[in-house]
Amino acid sequence: MNESPAQVRELYGRRRDRFAADWTALDRRSARLAHLRFGLALVIVAGLIAGFWGAGVVRPGWLALAVIATVGFVVSVRRHSRIRRRQRRAAAFRDLNEEGIARLDRAWVRLPPPPDHPDPPPLATDLDLLGPSSLRHLLGPVGTSMGDDTATRWLLEPATATEASARQGAVWDLAPRLDLRQTLTWLVREVSEAMPDTGDFLEWAEGAPWLESRRALAWAARVLAVVTVGLIVASIGGWIPSLVWLLPLPLNLALTWALRRPVGAIFRAVSLEPSPFAALD
């Protein structure tokens, strides 16, 4: 790259503004989908209540409406999830380009803080290699503890001529590929923020299956699911009074409530997505 600082600043500014506009447009779409999901949820509840209201009376039209609304709700949830991911990406790219401008300006307070090194060697202190307003601060975060250790080691330890040449070649190769560099930075930061420590995952992966010692619990979940579906089918067929299918509901809710914390801990250990039980705590 042979661009002047002014040209680089202009490039970062254009990209920042473009991704900011993308975020705003996606935010409007996200809000519309949130309203649609809420409306579909109301239709589902209303359809189920109207469909089973009254002893021994089933109204197929209302139930069909509830089924259609459920399909629409599932589709809207998946669509909303994709839009929110695109929105997070737009926000991240907007911020990355703003960081690029801050680096050109040496605006340290607008840059992510550097990694903490409580006992830096004297050479690093004398040359401002580590810590605030340092070369390490200017380079920016790398997203993982392993990457941070590597970057710090490269700053503090001498390299052979071959190693230095290889690193310079990599820099020249990556310098013009701004989209690739920012995409890699976004992906690493997203993973790092969602799951900063792999210790819990390794402990779960190497431990015994959680349900192995809880066979009664696994069978209770299976039986409750079969009974609930069977009662719904029987209620629709008119073989039992309507609303009887709601009887297992308190047991299902009680089981969910009792297991929310251990199951939520497993979700947090193995998934980058929030635990579905987080809202219950």
Per-range mean pLDDT, top range of 77-81, 212-216, 227-231, 246-250: 77-81
Do the domain assignments include residue 49?
no
User: Would residue 239 count as lying in a domain?
Assistant: yes
Res. 58 pLDDT band, cuts 50 70 90: low
Domain that holds residue 261: 195-281
- pLDDT of 207 over the 80 cut: no
**How does the average pLDDT of the chain come out, rounded?**
83
Q: Is the pLDDT of residue 59 over 80?
A: no
Please tell me the predicted confidence (pLDDT) of residue 57: 64
In a domain, 269, yes or no: yes
Number of domains comprising the chain: 1
Is residue 36 in a domain?
no
**Mean per-residue pLDDT, 56-68:** 80
Tokens 């069977």, residue? 230
Task: Dump pLDDT digits (tens) for 116-161.
Answer: 877 778 877 878 888 888 888 888 878 777 788 888 888 888 889 9
Asked if residues 107 and 29 have their Cβ atoms less than 8 Å apart, the reply is no
Count of residues in the chain: 281
Mean pLDDT (whole number) for 92-103: 93
Residue 248 is assigned to a structural domain of this protein: yes
Higher pLDDT residue, 55 or 76?
76
Residue 197 has pLDDT above 80, yes or no: no
DSSP per-residue codes, the chain: ----HHHHHHHHHHHHHHHHHHHHHHHHHHHHHHHHHHHHHHHHHHHHHHHH-STT---HHHHHHHHHHHHHHHHHHHHHHHHHHHHHHHHHHHHHHHHHHHHHHT-GGGSPPPPP-SS--HHHHHTT-SSTTSHHHHH---SSHHHHHHHHHHHHS---HHHHHHHHHHHHHHTT-HHHHHHHHHHHHHHHHH----HHHHHHHHS--GGGG-HHHHHHHHHHHHHHHHHHHHHHTTSS-TTGGGTTHHHHHHHHHHHHHHHHHHHHHH-SSPPTTGGG-
Judged against a pLDDT cut of 80, whether residue 264 lies above it is answered with no
Assess contact for 241 and 55: CB atoms under 8 A: yes
Q: Is residue 101 domain-resident? A: no
**What pLDDT does 279 receive?**
46
- Whether residue 169 has pLDDT greater than 90: yes
Q: Is residue 149, in this structure, part of any structural domain at all?
A: no
Give the tens place of pLDDT for each residue, 109-118.
Answer: 998 888 887 7
Instruction: Please indicate, yes or no, if residue 35 is contained in any of the structural domains.
Output: no
Give the mean pLDDT of 24-47. Answer: 93
